[in-house]
Amino acid sequence: MKIHEYQAKEVLARSGVPVPKNAGVADTAEQAAQAVEKLGGRGVIKAQVHTGGRGKAGGIKVAESPEAALEIAKSMLGMILKTHQAPQGIRVDKVLIEEPITITSEIYAAVLPDRVSRKNVIILSARGGMDIEAVAEEDPDAIARLSVDPLEGVCDYQLRDLCFRAKIETAFVNKVSGFLRSLYNAFVACDASLLEINPLAVTDTGRVLAADAKVDIDESALFRHPELAGYAEESEDDPIEAEAHKKDIAYVRLGGDVGIICNGAGLTMATMDAVQRAGGHPADFLDVGGGAQAERVKECLGIVLSDPNVKGVLINIFGGITRCDEVAKGVITATQSMDIKVPIVVRLAGTRAAEGSAILAGSSLVPAETMQDAAAQIVRLVNAA
């Protein structure tokens, strides 16, 4: 679950991570002006959207007065903010108002799980304020890492050593290591799957603050965190993903033109690879789940076809728990009730595959014997279209 910056800072503050003072979130220009007045007449107006690069795109501005805040908020609220991470643009519906700070040094800090070592890893770099991927490519030695056994936790001397390896200014090693201690505690406390601070700001007064924050929560652990329930949004950055989420469908939009519907994450990823090898571009990841019934399949097909980029659909089902005849019924029901103008290739194997194929016989759907054959057929049909 992605949460906004202001929500992330609330989570961090509960674990003692220092964050800038704020006057709340506003969804009107008048509220923004009042918030800046509460801060003493100056404030930073920050668009609350799930993307990086907001500053370059005009999503972060300093208001020198409440009147200036009113005008800034008027122009920012409702704007479509386009960044390198979200070139399609995201609508700004609310803004965070924070105290202005003078940053003398920017540091990058993050905590995330490393599935290879089966440990959590703390990443630190003195070259904050820019994409960590660019730092890794230009100067990999500028990034220091510390693997932390989740059962043993982290020791203070390890955090100080990490700071020295990351070339943090000596005068701030103790403050930064203390910040990292609180950051790691927050990561564990809220069952985060990612916790990123960029920049971790050193101010002209010597404070160390999370000037920006990105926190992703492991949705599987939300039952342990009723305090986070209010952070879940029905409105997400991608409306199709939001609709799929409401229907409890595992769907990720990828931007290609070949829609993918499979059962099981492994089969879905393998099918995406097969489409890629055949020269196509997957439009999505969609796992219909085990034991899919006809209505469920119809809903999934509707989600995939709501993407205007989709020029064809590949349905690849291996029946174990899932019955292929139920999938076939769902596909037929969907195609009869929807105005579908793109080709659909269907490959069925496993439980009741023969019965499923018999249901599909005589329809406009294109049958395929193997996954590779199905991928080649849908790519050919999409290219022909």
Q: Are the CB atoms for 194 and 110 separated by under 8 Å?
A: yes
Cα separation of 301 and 345, whole Å?
A: 12
What superfamily in CATH does domain 239-384 come from?
Succinyl-CoA synthetase domains (3.40.50.261)
Extract the residue ranges of the chain whose pLDDT is less than 70. 233-237, 290-293
Tokens of 62: 């300093």
Cα separation of 377 and 135, whole Å?
A: 42
Q: Encode pLDDT of 178-235 as tens digits.
A: 999 999 999 999 999 999 999 999 999 999 999 999 999 998 898 999 888 788 764 4
Residue 237 is predicted with a pLDDT of 57
Residue 321 is predicted with a pLDDT of 79
The residue from 10, 98, 196, 236 that is catalytic is 196
CATH topology identical between 21-98 and 239-384: no
Instruction: Give me the CATH topology for the region 21-98.
Output: Dna Ligase; domain 1 (3.30.1490)
Q: Encode pLDDT of 309-340 as tens digits.
A: 999 999 998 888 788 888 888 888 888 888 88
Nearest to 195 by CA among 109, 107, 134, 96: 109
Cα separation of 209 and 206, whole Å?
A: 10
Report, in this order, helix, strand and coil percent for the chain, each rounded to 5.
Answer: 40, 25, 35
Task: Specify whether 108 is catalytic.
Answer: yes
The secondary structure of 252-302 as a DSSP string is EE-S-SEEEEESSHHHHHHHHHHHHHTT--B-EEEE--TT--HHHHHHHHH
Contacts of 364 (CB under 8 A, 6+ apart): 335, 344
For 103-231, give the CATH class.
alpha beta
Residue 269's DSSP bridge partners are: none
Count CB neighbours of 192 within 10 A: 24
The residue from 108, 184, 231, 251 that is catalytic is 108
Q: Are the CB atoms for 350 and 317 separated by under 8 Å?
A: yes
Residue 235 is predicted with a pLDDT of 47
Tokens of 208: 């160390």
Domain parsing of the chain, residue ranges: 21-98, 103-231, 239-384
Contacts of 359 (CB under 8 A, 6+ apart): 325, 328, 329, 332
Task: Specify whether 37 is catalytic.
Answer: no
